[in-house]
Amino acid sequence: MRISETLEGSRIVGAIGYELFRAKGHRMNAAAAAEIRGADRKVVEYLKSAVGAGTSDSWDAIDTRSRDAFIASGRHDVAFFRAASPGGARRLPFLTSVAVASLEASAWVRGKGSPAPLSSLALSGNMRLEPRLCSCLLVMTNSLFEGMKPEARSFVDEEMNGAIGAAIDPHFIQSLVDTSTPIFDSSGPDPDGVNADLMALIAVMPAVKGARYLMVLAADVAQAACLMRDDGGYMFPEMGINGGVIRGIEAIVSSGVNAGEAWLLNLADIAVAVGDLRISASHQADLEMMNSALVQDAADGTPTSLVNMFQVDSTALMMTIEFDAVKLRDTAIAGLTNIGWGMSS
């Protein structure tokens, strides 16, 4: 009897990528091999799903539960994934107009027969969550991948999470920042300066029930925070180099935040949307092998040198996710720059 493998939703993405790599991008071959080995049903179903003629955009989206599990698996490293996870920001569908309550509704306790005062509720703004695409591309030589064991699919998950985080978080933060956003320069490297910095950030946030704070730090700031000491010992004993808690506020480290910066978010004042998550692979694609400053541009016909995956015996795996975020109130975000905690003055 063949025992089918059952995976947590967060590992479905890596499992699909693993099967596609093994089959060098041939989807039906990947489906057949996965089924013979008794792979997870969702993996086999995704690989078997119909592909329309044309581009990889016709690939079916991964099921919603597996997509959300993949997002939740990266919530400790990617600020947008944390905001999109349960207990985070407000999840709304794309292309939905958002009106913000600028004056909250009121309620009263009254005696029987007493008149009820009118409620004051003012709505302002008209924002929409528009789909943006974030894609990550992972290229691996076939000989390297063939030598890996099935457990290597965790490597695929980790690489994709890291790549998506580095790309999506700068856009997420910048979509919330405008001319009304309070941004402070650090007060200094010593404990007094650190306390002043945190007081400045927290003071501009609303002290109301229901606020959900998240601190997003650059890696160097997190390292300084976990090592910072005063006369009483470590200033943030619950803070580690990869995140933790600062003054009772959850703190995560994001590769999408510039060095020397920290951002305080009130997730209750942010709306996010997450769309389809798709995976495609190719052993024959022509790629510009650069991770920045790409030259080719289909819009104006700019040419460049390309590398064929078959020619270099490699497979390219691409993951694409739809996302967007808007702030509902000006109290959604505050920033701190030029941080040098613990450094000699």
Provide the residue ranges of all domains of the chain, joining segments of one domain with +.
1-95+128-283+309-345
Mark residue 260 as left, alpha or beta (left: phi above 0; alpha: psi -120 to 50; beta: remaining).
Answer: left
Compare 142 and 249 and report the one with higher pLDDT.
Answer: 249
Question: Residue 5 pLDDT > 50, yes or no?
Answer: no
When the pLDDT of each residue in the chain is averaged and rounded to a whole number, the result is 80
Cross-strand partners of 132: 323
Query: Residue 339's pLDDT band (boundaries 50, 70, 90)?
Result: very high
- pLDDT surpassing 90 at residue 14: no
**Torsion 206-207-208-209 (CA) sign:** positive
Percent of the chain with pLDDT over 90: 34
**Residues 115, 137: Cα–Cα separation, whole Å:** 64
Answer yes or no: are the C-beta atoms of 268 and 212 closer than 8 Å: yes
- pLDDT for res 114: 65
Which of 146-160, 180-194, 198-212 is predicted least confidently? 146-160
More confident residue, 192 or 135: 192
Choose the weakest-confidence range: 66-75, 90-99, 231-240, 256-265: 90-99
Using alpha carbons, select from 301, 277, 311, 21 the residue that is nearest to residue 156.
21
- The residue with greater pLDDT, 318 or 6, is 318
Q: Determine the average pLDDT of the residues in 269-295.
A: 80
CB 121 within 8 A of CB 103: yes
Res 2: pLDDT = 36
pLDDT band at 12 (very low <50, low <70, confident <90, very high): confident
Closest CA to 230 of 115, 341, 328, 330: 341
Task: Please say if the pLDDT value at position 80 is more than 90.
Answer: yes
What pLDDT score does 177 carry?
93
199, pLDDT greater than 60: yes
Residue 11 has pLDDT above 80, yes or no: no
**pLDDT for res 50:** 46
Options 3.40.50.300, 3.40.50.11540, 2.60.40.10, 3.30.2320.10; which CATH number does 1-95+128-283+309-345 get?
Answer: 3.30.2320.10
- Distance between CA atoms of 307 and 310, rounded to whole angstroms? 9
Lowest mean pLDDT among 52-66, 74-88, 286-300: 52-66
Least confident of 243-247, 249-253, 328-332: 328-332
Task: Give me the mean pLDDT over the 126-154 stretch.
Answer: 77
pLDDT bin (cut points 50, 70, 90) of residue 6 is very low
Pairing relationship of beta strands 213-217 and 262-266 according to DSSP bridges: antiparallel
Across 116-125, 185-194, 213-222, least confident range: 116-125
For residues 63 and 324, the model is more confident at: 324
pTM score of the predicted model: 0.79
